[in-house]
Amino acid sequence: MSTGLKILTAHLEDPELHTLAGYERHGGYGALRKTLREGLTPEKVQEEVKAANLRGRGGAGFPAGIKWGFLPKNTDKPIYLCINADEGEPGTFKDRLIMERNPHALIEGCLIACHAIKAKVCYIYIRGELLKCIKHVERAIEEARAKGLIGKNILGSGLDCEIHVHPGAGAYICGEEMSLIESLEGKPGQPRNKPPFPASVGLFNCPTIVNNVETIAYVPWIIQNSGQAFADLGSEKNGGLKIWGVSGHVKRPGLWELPMGITARQLIEDYAGGMRGPKKMKGYIPGGSSCPPLLGTEIDIPLDFENMKKAGTMLGTGCLTVFEEGVCTVRFAQRIAHFYEHESCGQCTPCREGTGWLYRNIKKLEHGEQLDGGLDLLESICNRIMGNTICALGDAAAMPIQGFLRRFGDEWAAHLGAGRCPIQG
């Protein structure tokens, strides 16, 4: 079903793609020039993005055009665009590719998106460890500014727009949009309660849109080719292409840009070279550690937001983590539980206590100890976290555990009181 078309990865073979000259050689900034030349209004740009069915690529899949529509229509406050480049969800490694190899696509997307939402300042919040991304994006901004593409009166159009990089400092929670905003204000990254949503009260208490890197980097192609053309590339309600990742026990882990609605079988067998050895696939996590796992037999479900939800999981970031037979799923879940315990910001009791409780009990189970209340104990901890916290990190910690219990319950039960791990010893 792939037409072979590529958008963000079309010219990766050009080693200069990350420079302005390289990007422009392949038609870069054409969409911005078109927007200005044809005088596309903010409303028109928003319409195209809505028609594109461009779903947020940060994990939740909210339609970008609709999110932009939540901004107040008349406000005398400045409006901000924040780009979420805090990539840190275990298993996820796609935004790095865009920032390192094609940063001008992101910059051009930011400029058009700022026009669409009437923002004059955009902050790109890049995970602090990703130094190469920071350098390439900063350099792209400087080049674009020198060419009059960023700053005052862009290309003589009368439009102003500034773009700045803001480095993170090592905290997964800052990927959550309210935490990101707090962090941008120079505070600890502790999420704020919603509502109010950032579209009304966000950065510096002004209306703010937070979007993922990949989401915004697709905007230029949509403006060049129409929203409908983008929508047509994907599946129902899930427009366009996406950058898919496969890691874990496959022969050739990597990233590929393919349509929304592709299957895990296609990704793993046709692109990632199949499993790395003779062992069969035991299961996979569709899009980062907060998504419940699926079985190795559930690989023909279209990978899009609706179909993954129907299957009892989430598409998340679209970076698959594949594991083979012989991997103990209790130990796997222990790694995940450890992560959330470590990353909880500690504001809400159910999350702060619950993530630690989950981790400690799963660790006990891993070693074949008995749990007071058996596996129901884990289920009840999850239920007490779910829906009772300020941000979605609590749910993100509980959902994969519930998923593991559902898919691999027998294996988990076999650990209870076994005195050791019956799978990996």
Partner 1 sequence: MSVPSLAFSATAMQRFETIVARYPHRQAALLPVLHLAQAEFGWISPEAMEYVGGLLDVPPVKVQHVASFYTMYNLKPVGRFHVQVCTNTSCWLTGGVEILEHLKAKLGVGNKGTTADGLFTLEEVECLASCGTAPAIQVNDLKDSEWPIRYHEGQTVASADALIDALRKRATEGGAA
Note the residues at the interface with ligand SF4 (CB under 6 A).
173, 191, 344-348, 351-352, 389-391, 393-394
59 binds, among ligand FMN, partner 1, ligand SF4, none (CB under 5 to 8 A by kind): ligand FMN
Spell out the residues 6+ positions from residue 71 whose beta carbon is closer than 8 angstroms to its own.
79, 117, 118, 199, 207, 209
CB count within 10 Å of CB 283 equals 24
Judged by CB, which is closer to ligand FMN: 143, or 177? Answer: 177
Out of 175, 239, 259, 292, the only residue in the binding site for ligand FMN (CB under 6 A) is 175
- Considering only residues 86-145, where is the footprint of partner 1 by CB under 8 A? 87-93, 95-96, 127-132
Closer of 70 and 204 to partner 1 (Cβ): 204
List 212, 313, 321, 355, residue binding partner 1 (CB under 8 A): 321
Cβ-Cβ contacts under 8 Å for 227 (sequence gap 6 or more): 47, 48, 49, 50, 51, 52, 53, 54, 65, 239
Asked if 286 interacts with partner 1 (CB under 8 A), we say no
Residues 135-194 that bind partner 1 (CB under 8 A): 162, 164, 166-172, 183-189
Both tokens assigned to 246: 């496969």
- Please give the structure tokens belonging to residue 9: 């990865």
215 binds ligand FMN (CB under 6 A): yes
**Member of 63, 240, 245, 354 binding partner 1 (CB under 8 A):** 245
Interaction partner, residue 164 (ligand FMN, ligand SF4, partner 1, none; CB < 5-8 Å by kind) = partner 1
Q: Which lies closer to partner 1 via its Cβ, residue 32 or residue 250?
A: 250
Strand-pair partners of 294: 284
Nearest CB to ligand SF4, comparing residues 211 and 389: 389
Q: Is 192 in the site for ligand FMN (CB under 6 A)?
A: no
User: Residue 309: CB partners within 8 Å, gap ≥ 6?
Assistant: none
Query: Should residue 341 be labelled a site residue for ligand FMN when binding is judged by CB under 6 A?
Result: no
Identify what 175 binds: ligand FMN, partner 1, ligand SF4, none; CB under 5 to 8 Å per kind: ligand FMN
Closest to ligand SF4 by CB, 200 vs 388, is: 388
Q: How far is residue 295 CA from its own chain's centroid?
A: 22
Among 28, 59, 198, 283, binds ligand FMN (CB under 6 A): 59
Provide the terminal-to-terminal Cα distance of the chain, rounded to the nearest Å: 43
Whether 17 contacts 108, CB under 8 Å: no
Name which of ligand FMN, partner 1, ligand SF4, none residue 215 binds, using a CB cut-off of 5 to 8 Å depending on partner kind.
ligand FMN
Of the candidates 105, 116, 89, the one whose C-alpha atom is nearest the C-alpha of residue 6 is 105
Regarding 296 and contact with ligand FMN (CB under 6 A), the answer is no
> To 5 degrees, how large is the angle CA 20–CA 21–CA 22?
90
- State in angstroms the smallest separation of the CB of 396 from ligand FMN: 5
The mark string for 118-147 relative to ligand FMN (x by CB under 6 A, - otherwise) is ------------------------------
Among residues 48, 87, 257, 341, the one that binds ligand FMN under rule CB under 6 A: 87
- Longest CA–CA span in the chain (Å) reads 73
Spatial separation of the C-alpha atoms in residues 206 and 195, rounded to whole Å? 14
User: What, of ligand FMN, ligand SF4, partner 1, none, does residue 390 touch, CB below 5 to 8 Å by kind?
Assistant: ligand SF4
Strand order in the sheet with 208-212: 162-167, 121-126, 80-85, 208-212
Q: How far apart are CA 391 and CA 407, in angstroms?
A: 26
CA 245 vs CA 91, 185, 255, 264: distances in Å: 8, 32, 4, 10
Interacting residues with ligand FMN (CB under 6 A): 56-60, 62, 64, 84, 86-89, 173, 175-177, 210-212, 215, 391-393, 396
Interacting residues with partner 1 (CB under 8 A): 87-93, 95-96, 127-132, 162, 164, 166-172, 183-189, 204, 245-249, 253-255, 285, 289, 319, 321, 323, 327, 332, 335-336, 339, 342-343
